[in-house]
Structure 1
Amino acid sequence: MIPTTPVPAKDGIANPAPLGLCAFGMTTVLLNLHNAGFFELNSMILAMGIFYGGLAQVIAGIIESKKNNTFGLTAFTSYGFFWLSLVGLIVIPKLGWAPAASDSAMCAYLIMWGIFTLCLFFGTLKLNRALQVVFASLTILFFLLAAEHATGNGAIGKFAGYEGIFCGASAIYAGIANVLNEVYGKTVLPLG
């Protein structure tokens, strides 16, 4: 049920962080259910990557810029475009527009995202524990996926899938905690 009395925003702009965190988290969980071996890579994952993980996070990042939140702008727009680029890496070769990325190219791609995420993790040290868990586990996830591509070891990829489910779930928790804490005007779910 939607509350009849909206929670007033101090600057007149709603908090976009829950949208960005839930978009990232839900898309991450679904992709990593695939990585863990529960189902094949399919249109559901690609659609989530384009529309929720991709576009919704970019929108959240743009709203963060209106709130003068450089961290939120950088994180949400970057990971939104990460999802769009990942879908592109999967779809573009199938359309015949370019060859598929090699394992070494994917390794470089994932390492760059891991380094970027590690850098953002240091920004979370001034924020809350929930975001620290999201960014720490995401850093680990990128490096695990890079290791899978570097070694060809599917067991690493399967383990990365389970770690990615944890990462995505932690982002969903942080997003829902933001919503519930704001709606109720008190700590319903602690963020640390």
Structure 2
Amino acid sequence: MSTQPYNNDHAAINPDVSKERTSYDYGGNPLAHYATNDPDIRLRPFGGAAQPGLYRPPPRTLANPAPLGLSAFALTTFVLSVIQMGTRSILEPNIVVALAYGYGGLVQLLAGMWEMACGNTFGATALSSYGGFWISFGIILTPGGFGIVAALEESSPAPFTNSFGLYLMGWFIFTFLLLLCTLRSTVAFFSLFFFLDMAFLLLGLSYLYADAGHVHVGLERAGGAFACLSAIMAWYNALAGLADSTNSFFVIPVLHFPWSETGRERRNNIQKSPEHQA
């Protein structure tokens, strides 16, 4: 590592900052995210920190809770999604109840609360909300515990599938709102919410278009496939937030959108370069 004036890409975001920093260029990777605890600068959007916009790093006393919340979401979503796709002929998703309460629910909710302490409104809203989703999902699926499914089937002229379909469509709307906030972030972070939104839409439709109480198989499996992709992207963003120069020999590319602040800066830098002008 070498010490050099603070003149990398952060300088374009913070032109008044002229500090010395330790440079770790990851071999010149233009997709790299530079982690720092310097409170006087603003960092680029980064899915590994659940940050869709420019942000200030949290105090050095606080760890980054986003990888924990993303991992909790990813594992719980992955297990449910592969069941929905018909893997190993598993017909009932009851095994997800334990994960929904313990990992995807409680742990993700805690990560969302810690994001509040870090000052990350988006991360706190997203992780806490999906933690609540998994807890509520576990409550619905708990066999014999809350009796929600049985009560709806007995007292309502519409079957449980209609009620559950509306429940999933509500989460589709909420996820779409979060998706709008990621349009200026990175491809990896946007993809996580895009795949999740498609999963909620297709799964909601699979219950609304159920036949005699039987979920529409094609829509359910398509929704499960998108949910599986969402889980993979959540793990990818979690790894991006975990891997840095202290514990990894490689960096996880985050790939900023060309219309984002970072994309425009790079495009301007290329246009101003002597090689381009020649």
Is residue 125 from structure 1 mapped to residue 183 from structure 2 by the alignment?
yes
- Alpha-carbon distance change, 118 to 182 in structure 1, aligned in 2, over 3 angstroms: farther
Is the CA contact 1:27–1:48 (under 8 Å) kept in the aligned structure 2? yes
Distance 2:146 2:188 in 1: 41
2:81 is matched with which residue? Answer: 32
1:71 is matched with which residue? Answer: 122
1:181 to partner: Cα distance: 3.1
Is residue 95 from structure 1 mapped to residue 159 from structure 2 by the alignment?
no
Q: Could you list the runs of 5+ residues in structure 1 that have no partner in the other structure?
A: 1-6
- Alpha-carbon distance change, 52 to 142 in structure 1, aligned in 2, over 3 angstroms: same
Structure with bigger gyration radius: 2
Secondary structure of 2:112 counterpart: helix
One of 180, 183, 186 as aligned partner of 2:243: 180
The alignment's TM-score, normalised by the length of structure 2, stands at: 0.62
1:62 is matched with which residue? Answer: 113
1:134 is matched with which residue? Answer: 192
1:3 is matched with which residue? Answer: none
Distance 1:180 1:46 in 2: 30
Question: Deviations 1:78-133 (Å, cap 9, x if unpaired)?
Answer: 00000000011111x62254425711111111111000000001111233221100
Q: Decide which structure has greater helix share.
A: 1
Secondary structure of 2:243 counterpart: helix
1:4 is matched with which residue? Answer: none
Distance 1:48 1:90 in 2: 12
Secondary structure of 1:124 counterpart: coil
Secondary structure of 1:118 counterpart: helix
Question: Deviations 1:135-162 (Å, cap 9, x if unpaired)?
Answer: 0111100000011001122111012112
Q: Greater RCO between the two (CA within 8 Å, min separation 6)?
A: 1
1:33 to partner: Cα distance: 0.8
1:185 to partner: Cα distance: 8.0
Is the CA contact 1:141–1:160 (under 8 Å) kept in the aligned structure 2? yes
Give the 5 Å matches for 1:154-173. Answer: 154-173=217-236
Is residue 80 from structure 1 mapped to residue 80 from structure 2 by the alignment?
no
- Alpha-carbon distance change, 182 to 160 in structure 1, aligned in 2, over 3 angstroms: farther
Distance 2:218 2:68 in 1: 33
Is the CA contact 2:188–2:233 (under 8 Å) kept in the aligned structure 1? yes
Distance 2:188 2:98 in 1: 27
Is residue 53 from structure 1 mapped to residue 104 from structure 2 by the alignment?
yes
- Alpha-carbon distance change, 22 to 182 in structure 1, aligned in 2, over 3 angstroms: farther
Of 182-191 and 172-181, more deviation after overlay is shown by: 182-191
The alignment's TM-score, normalised by the length of structure 1, stands at: 0.88
1:28 to partner: Cα distance: 0.5
- Alpha-carbon distance change, 68 to 169 in structure 1, aligned in 2, over 3 angstroms: same
Secondary structure of 1:134 counterpart: helix
Q: Could you list the runs of 5+ residues in structure 2 that have no partner in the other structure?
A: 1-34, 38-57, 154-159, 211-215, 256-278
Is the CA contact 2:140–2:146 (under 8 Å) kept in the aligned structure 1? no
Distance 2:251 2:91 in 1: 36
Aligned residue type for 1:59: L
Distance 1:123 1:181 in 2: 25
2:202 is matched with which residue? Answer: 144
- How many aligned residue pairs are there? 185
